[in-house]
Structure 1
Amino acid sequence: MTDDDASLDAAEKPDEAQADSAGKDSAGKAEPTPEPASDGASSSALLSSKKFLITLGVAAVALIAAVVLGVLWWTSVSSDEHRVAEAREQVVLSVRQGITAYTEIDHTKPDAYREGQREISTDELFQQNQGGWDKAREDITKNEIKVKAKIFDVGVLELNTHKGEAVALAAIEITRSAKGMEPTPGRMRMVTKLQRVDDEWKLADIQHVPEIPTGA
């Protein structure tokens, strides 16, 4: 090796030594570790999470309450409608029974005729007709009176389920017959008033509605 080569070799060695030293320094140093979040930041995040959960819970409770109230309201309305519809049916049935009891007569069963009126009438209405019953009974049996009734329609004009009162109008046809007389049919309308007595609709009044002459 010449003196020039030795000089060149010596010049390159310091550079290699510096590179080795730099490599060691790099290897010895660890990557910086991120510092953990401060306690204040953690508390803020936890508080926000709690607020969100509380808000979500309140919203859920409000939704459930709204649904429950809606169901209760619908149930209440449906129950009231059902109660009114049921009362209307009972009124119509009582009107039919009442009209039959007061218009249909069989001269062979006068006492059954009167008893039928007792069952469907209020005490006040029954007592109103009691005074003239003996005379009426005598006429029925003596003249062999017989009356059949056919009810075409019953319309409930007024119905108050709270007070237990109702008014209804009925269209009927009656056929009368008596000793020595041919059966005679005739149509009429009757208005009835009813009262609820011990959960039963009773006839409180019954009246014939006069026909209005044509052109009057």
Structure 2
Amino acid sequence: MTAQRGVLIGSIALVVVAFAFAAVFGIWWASASGDDADVRRAREEVSTSGAAAVATLTSLDFNNVDATYQRFLDVSTGSVHDDYAKNQDAFKKRISDAKVVTTAAVRETAVTDVNLQRKEATILVVVDTTVKESDKAPTTKRLRIEAALDQTDDGWKVKALRQVPYSATGQQ
């Protein structure tokens, strides 16, 4: 009888240990899936906000310089925002002198990085810009832009922009 009793106690101990492991790993899994959900949500916000900001920053209207300038300030932060704010008069003059209306249409967006601890993200945006000069037919140019974003109290804003060339194979 003592051998059976030892097997029974051993089995109960194994069940308790297995339950403890299941509980610990279940808690780890639940907290990890919460982090994944936060990152997934942030990626969606970055994609939407970032694409809209890039479209704004690649659109100009010489007929409404003040509104164009204000939109640029509204979607930017950091050095991009500082450059616009510091060079307000020169910026507005360039828009007025250009006598163009440029509209942007976002074709694709890819979020390449999101760091929630640092509140930073990076995206690639393919945008078609249509330029209309007063006396010429509109022309459209496809751009690929990498944008670095910061999460601010007002949402994700562009802190750096750069144009990324297409590959040598000529893919568009």
Q: Which residue of 2 aligns with 1:138?
A: 93
1:152·1:171 contact (CA, 8 Å) conserved in 2? yes
2:73·2:84 contact (CA, 8 Å) conserved in 1? no
Aligned residue for 1:121, secondary structure, equals coil
Q: Deviations over 1:30-74 (max 9, x none)?
A: xxxxxxxxxxxxxxx7x8887666545433322321221221122
More strand by share: 2
Change (3 A) 1:141 1:166: same
Change (3 A) 1:75 1:145: same
Matched, 1:153 2:108: yes
Report the structure number with the largest CA radius of gyration.
1
Number of residue pairs aligned between Structure 1 and Structure 2: 170
For residue 123 of structure 1, report the CA deviation from its aligned partner: 4.0
Aligned partner (choices 144, 148, 163) of residue 208 of structure 1? 163
Q: What percent of counterpart residues are identical?
A: 25
2:55·2:127 contact (CA, 8 Å) conserved in 1? no
Amino acid at match of 1:78: S
Aligned residue for 1:182, secondary structure, equals coil
Aligned residue for 2:85, secondary structure, equals coil
Gapped regions of structure 2 (runs ≥ 5): none
Q: Deviations over 1:113-147 (max 9, x none)?
A: 22222222114321112233323323434554211
Q: In structure 2, how many angstroms separate the alpha carbons of the residues matched to 1:48 and 1:173? A: 79
Higher RCO by CA contacts (8 Å cutoff, separation 6 or greater): 2
Matched, 1:100 2:55: yes
Gapped regions of structure 1 (runs ≥ 5): 1-44
Amino acid at match of 2:133: A
Amino acid at match of 2:148: K
Which TM-score applies when normalising by structure 1? 0.66
- More displaced stretch, 133-142 vs 110-119: 133-142
Aligned residue for 2:138, secondary structure, equals strand
Aligned partner (choices 182, 188, 198) of residue 137 of structure 2? 182
Aligned partner (choices 71, 74, 77) of residue 122 of structure 1? 77
Amino acid at match of 2:56: A
Aligned partner (choices 97, 118, 137) of residue 163 of structure 1? 118
Q: RMSD of aligned C-alpha atoms?
A: 2.8
Q: In structure 1, how many angstroms separate the alpha carbons of the residues matched to 2:4 and 2:98? A: 97
